């Protein structure tokens, strides 16, 4: 059995052309007119395959091949929404790999042992409301109707209203959550969005775990004063304090934490932010991620200790607040093993690795066995128009998806004959 890469690219090009920002990357937010066009195009393809299609109250699409088999399905898919001016492959490629897998199974008349279901998650990127992976969160019961009413976009419109106005039965979401025994396994194919595979010259990444994350907001307050009249030894300067916490972060994590630990300060603000005034207040965010809690704890401990030391040294008041966190999501050893065996059989140059980025697949680990396939991203670029993956790598990733699904859902003698 072999996937048809030309057919996949024809659909990719059609959907990539549906963008709010022609010539400036893909802008296809969930619940927008571009989203509607992309959905209509994909639903037509699903209908051509005679799939049993269900759309839940949040717009997550589930389309089953082999609906007559009364067993939990193998779920495959990803998302079709994008960030503003995003790339061609993020999410969409995983959906088209899944669709192509089902097409080949049907073409080959493969004898299924269980259904294979295409899934398209809504609102993965958080482009509308600043909340990522909403579709899989709703599907796994993380949000109530009241939550959707309180989550608002930049214009103050509620998520509930926007989903409802899109024509979806949002009032039913609480009755539609997925049960633990409902799905046999899930596999998501995604671009890596990092440069590890390209750097190591690998074609395939088999994901072992999705990193967990803690985000801290650090506030330092000093004594604002005249930049010219305040001698250096009479200052209580929060920006000097912030610098002495942030500057050693990289080397401290590199030498003291785990090889998988990453910590980033990506946002900083200063008041009053004037060139001739010693600041009153500085706020910055520390994003710490790892696939082992030990690594995240290391960053937390560094921060607590260093902030208190620096506050004392510079006579500052300090405050550390945990503003966000997500759990570490280990993926299924069983599915990993299936992917590895198929990668070996196909002769693909693969690497077992972790995902520093979050994915819908991570949420799905709460309800089923999950595996993820990564393919290389050129220069690790993603969420920008330059996002690119080589055709050979895309083909290899899709082929691995097909083989793994066949191994999990097709009668064995049939696979051997093909
Ligand atoms: Zn994505």
pLDDT, tens only, 151-203: 999 899 999 999 999 999 999 999 999 998 899 999 999 999 999 999 999 99
The secondary structure of the chain, three-state, reads CCCCHHHHHHHHHHHHCCCCCCCCCECCCCCCHHHHHHHHHHHHHHHHCCCEEEECCCCCEEEEECCCCCCCCEEEEEECCCCCCECCCCCHHHHHHHHHHHHHHHHCCCCECCCEEEEEECCCCCCCCCCCCHHHHHHCCCCCHHHHHHCECCCCCEHHHHHHHCCCCHHHHHHCCCCCCCCCEEEEEEECCCCHHHHCCCCEEEEEEECEEEEEEEEEECCCEECCCCCHHHCCCHHHHHHHHHCCHHHHHHHHCCCCCEEEEEEEEEECCCCCEECCEEEEEEEEEECCHHHHHHHHHHHHHHHHHHHHHCCCEEEEEEEEEECCEECCHHHHHHHHHHHHHHCCCEEEEEECCCCHHHHHCCCCEEEEEEECCHHHCCCCCCCCCCHHHHHHHHHHHHHHHHHHHECHHHHHHC
Do 304 and 386 lie in a common domain?
no
- For residue 95, is the peptide bond before it cis, meaning its omega torsion is within 30 degrees of 0? no
CA of 90 to the centre of ligand 1 (A): 5
CA of 68 to the centre of ligand 1 (A): 31
Q: What is the pLDDT of residue 14?
A: 98
Q: What is the dihedral of CA 132, 135, 138, 139, to 10 degrees?
A: -140
CA of 39 to the centre of ligand 1 (A): 17
Rounded to an integer, the average pLDDT of 280-286 is: 97
CA of 94 to the centre of ligand 1 (A): 9
- 384 pLDDT higher than 80: yes
Q: How far is 17 from 144, CA to CA, in rounded Å?
A: 35
Do 259 and 110 lie in a common domain?
no
Q: How far is 350 from 231, CA to CA, in rounded Å?
A: 60
Cross-strand pairs, 75? 117, 186
| Domain that includes residue 222, residue range | 212-326
Q: Tell me the average pLDDT of the chain.
A: 96
Rounded to an integer, the average pLDDT of 279-307 is: 97
Q: How far is 125 from 84, CA to CA, in rounded Å?
A: 10
CA of 115 to the centre of ligand 1 (A): 25
CB atoms within 10 A of CB 92: 26
Do 216 and 206 lie in a common domain?
no
Do 317 and 354 lie in a common domain?
no
Could you tell me what percent of the chain has a pLDDT over 70? Answer: 99
Rounded to an integer, the average pLDDT of 80-102 is: 97
Q: What is the pLDDT of residue 413?
A: 60
Question: In Å, how far are 90, 103, 310, 331, 397 from 5, measured between CA atoms?
Answer: 17, 12, 57, 28, 11
Of the three residues 281, 310, 326, the one that is the final residue of a domain is 326
- 418 pLDDT higher than 60: no
Q: What is the pLDDT of residue 412?
A: 79
Do 118 and 193 lie in a common domain?
yes
- 414 pLDDT higher than 80: no
Do 249 and 368 lie in a common domain?
no
Q: What is the pLDDT of residue 325?
A: 87
CATH value at residue 363? 3.40.630.10
pLDDT digits (tens, 9 = 90+) for 187-246: 999 999 999 999 999 999 999 999 999 999 999 999 999 999 999 999 999 999 999 999
Rounded to an integer, the average pLDDT of 339-365 is: 96
Of the three residues 258, 292, 326, the one that is the final residue of a domain is 326
Of the three residues 326, 351, 379, the one that is the final residue of a domain is 326
CATH value at residue 319? 3.30.70.360
Do 185 and 265 lie in a common domain?
no
Structure tokens at 296: 């995240």
Q: What is the pLDDT of residue 43?
A: 98
Do 182 and 80 lie in a common domain?
yes
pLDDT digits (tens, 9 = 90+) for 118-147: 999 999 999 999 888 999 999 999 999 999
Q: How far is 161 from 300, CA to CA, in rounded Å?
A: 39
Split into its structural domains, the chain has a count of 2
CA of 376 to the centre of ligand 1 (A): 14
Structure tokens at 29: 């937010």
Q: What is the pLDDT of residue 416?
A: 53
Could you tell me what percent of the chain has a pLDDT over 90? Answer: 96
Ramachandran category for residue 182: left, alpha or beta (phi over 0 → left; psi -120 to 50 → alpha): alpha
Do 167 and 30 lie in a common domain?
yes
CA of 96 to the centre of ligand 1 (A): 13
Do 242 and 335 lie in a common domain?
no
Do 12 and 161 lie in a common domain?
yes
pLDDT digits (tens, 9 = 90+) for 45-70: 999 999 999 999 999 999 999 999 99
Cross-strand pairs, 290? 212
CA of 92 to the centre of ligand 1 (A): 8
Structure tokens at 106: 């049907």
CA of 280 to the centre of ligand 1 (A): 40
Do 394 and 259 lie in a common domain?
no
CA of 382 to the centre of ligand 1 (A): 9
């Amino acid at each position: 059995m072999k996937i048809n890469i030309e057919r996949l690219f024809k659909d990719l090009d059609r959907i990539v052309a549906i963008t709010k920002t022609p010539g400036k990357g893909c802008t296809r937010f969930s619940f927008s007119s571009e989203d509607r066009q992309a959905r209509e195009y994909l639903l037509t393809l699903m209908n051509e395959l005679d799939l049993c299609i269900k759309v839940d109250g949040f717009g997550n699409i589930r389309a089953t091949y082999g609906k007559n088999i009364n067993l939990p399905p193998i779920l495959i898919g990803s998302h079709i929404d994008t960030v503003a001016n995003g790339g061609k492959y993020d999410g969409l490629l995983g959906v088209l790999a899944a669709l192509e897998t089902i097409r080949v199974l049907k073409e080959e008349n493969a004898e299924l042992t269980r259904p294979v279901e295409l899934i398209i998650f809504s609102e993965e990127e958080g482009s509308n409301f600043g909340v990522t992976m909403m579709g899989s969160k709703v599907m796994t019961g993380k949000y109530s109707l009241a939550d959707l009413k309180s989550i608002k976009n930049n214009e103050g419109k509620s998520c509930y209203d926007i989903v409802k106005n899109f024509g979806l039965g949002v009032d039913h979401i609480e009755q539609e959550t997925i049960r633990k025994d409902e799905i046999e396994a899930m596999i998501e194919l995604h671009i890596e969005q990092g440069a590890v595979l390209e750097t190591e010259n690998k074609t395939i990444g088999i994901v072992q775990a999705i990193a967990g994350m803690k985000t801290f907001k650090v506030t330092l307050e000093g004594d604002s004063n005249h930049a010219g009249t305040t001698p250096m030894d009479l200052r209580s300067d929060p920006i000097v304090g912030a610098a002495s916490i942030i500057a050693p972060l990289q080397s401290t994590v590199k030498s003291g934490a785990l090889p998988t630990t990453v910590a980033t300060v990506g946002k900083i603000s200063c008041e009053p932010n004037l060139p001739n005034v010693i600041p009153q207040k500085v706020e910055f965010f520390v994003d710490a991620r790892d696939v082992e809690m030990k690594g995240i704890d290391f960053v937390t401990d560094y921060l607590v200790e260093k902030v208190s030391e620096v506050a004392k040294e510079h006579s500052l008041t300090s405050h550390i607040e945990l503003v966000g966190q997500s759990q570490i999501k280990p993926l299924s050893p069983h599915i990993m093993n299936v992917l590895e065996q198929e990668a070996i059989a196909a002769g693909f140059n693969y690497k077992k690795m972790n995902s520093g980025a979050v994915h819908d697949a991570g949420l799905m680990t709460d309800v089923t066995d999950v595996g993820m396939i990564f393919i290389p991203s050129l220069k690790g670029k993603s969420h920008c128009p330059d996002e690119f993956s080589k055709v050979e790598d895309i083909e290899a990733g899709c082929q691995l998806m097909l083989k793994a699904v066949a191994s999990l859902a097709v009668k064995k003698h049939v696979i051997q004959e093909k």
